[in-house]
Amino acid sequence: MGHDHSHHHHHHFDPDEKPSGIVTAFWLNTAFAIIEIIGGLYTNSVAILSDAVHDLGDSLSLGLAYYFHGKSRQARDQNFNYGYRRFSLLGAFINSVVLIVSSVFIIREAGLRLFSPEQPDTKGMVVLAVLGILVNGAALLRLRKGKSINEKVISLHFVEDVLGWTAVLAGSIVMMFADVPILDPILSILICVYILYNVYKNLRTTFRILLQGTPESFQQEDIKRKVLSVPGVLDLHDMHFWTMDGQYNVMTLHVVVGADKTLDEIEKIKNEVKHCLIHLDVQHTTVEIESQDNNCYAELKKNQLTI
């Protein structure tokens, strides 16, 4: 009886938001990764070199995140009629792959060190660790303000970095007073295991979006209850929810109204349903209105009775 496509922009969603945090974090991270490589080789610390490889991976990810953030803001066209928003997920995916490869490489190197530990320069490690906490902490503060999945994924890496450097600092202080060179590769492996655990969580979120899983924040029964509370709505079915990139949410549904409703009344019901969904963080809604005696609805009820 009626079919409507509607764009709604929730107050949380800003399509023109610039990822300034990513730019700041990129330059901080790249400069520090170079310092880390030099420092890691100088101090002979595999824990510092492991974080250097991790940081270089982060720099690549930050660059990709910035590129894909811009790409995802392109207007929809005949090639991508839902727009380019999902391109931002590519940054998160490539980021995760880079971290898996670099972590496996570092675990292998640290494993070899477990059997032939070498005493690192602990004073140099302390200096680098303090610098690492300050630089990564500054980058983290800039990224925490971001709302995109890319910025959230990357800010997680800086949380890991701050924790990793805190562990390196603690380990290097212990090694200054005790002859336990094996602590360095052990720290390196623990940092990598923690990184891989978070990569797994990030990939799970990314694949849930790519496979069009229902957004985790959506409670289907709550949405159904809210729509049914709209005056004139008798029933609803064929509800589908998905998200383009973790921020921009899409929904389609069939709404059943009385057979005696006029076109104006139907339009009013449709607008109220859309308005109700805006407040439930749905930015793009497609509503199909069906009359109570519509063939589709009657068939649905018949099938439900025979089940």
pLDDT recorded at residue 5: 43
Distance in angstroms (rounded) separating the CA atoms of residues 48 and 170: 13
Whether 44 contacts 120, CB under 8 Å: yes
Strands 2-7 and 284-291: antiparallel
pLDDT-based confidence at 179, cuts 50/70/90?
confident
pLDDT-based confidence at 3, cuts 50/70/90?
very low
pLDDT recorded at residue 147: 61
**Mean pLDDT score, 118-143:** 84
pLDDT in tens, 191-221: 788 878 888 888 888 888 888 777 777 777 8
pLDDT in tens, 25-68: 788 888 888 888 888 888 888 778 777 877 787 788 778 878 87
Q: Which domains does the chain have, with CATH numbers?
A: 20-210 (1.20.1510.10), 215-306 (3.30.70.1350)
Among the residue ranges 31-40, 89-98, 143-152, 280-289, the one predicted with the least confidence is 143-152
Q: Is the dihedral of CA 249, 87, 20, 51 positive or negative?
A: positive
pLDDT recorded at residue 95: 78
- Please state, rounded to an integer, the average pLDDT across all residues of the chain: 78
Q: Is the dihedral of CA 206, 207, 208, 210 positive or negative?
A: positive
**Mean pLDDT score, 80-104:** 79
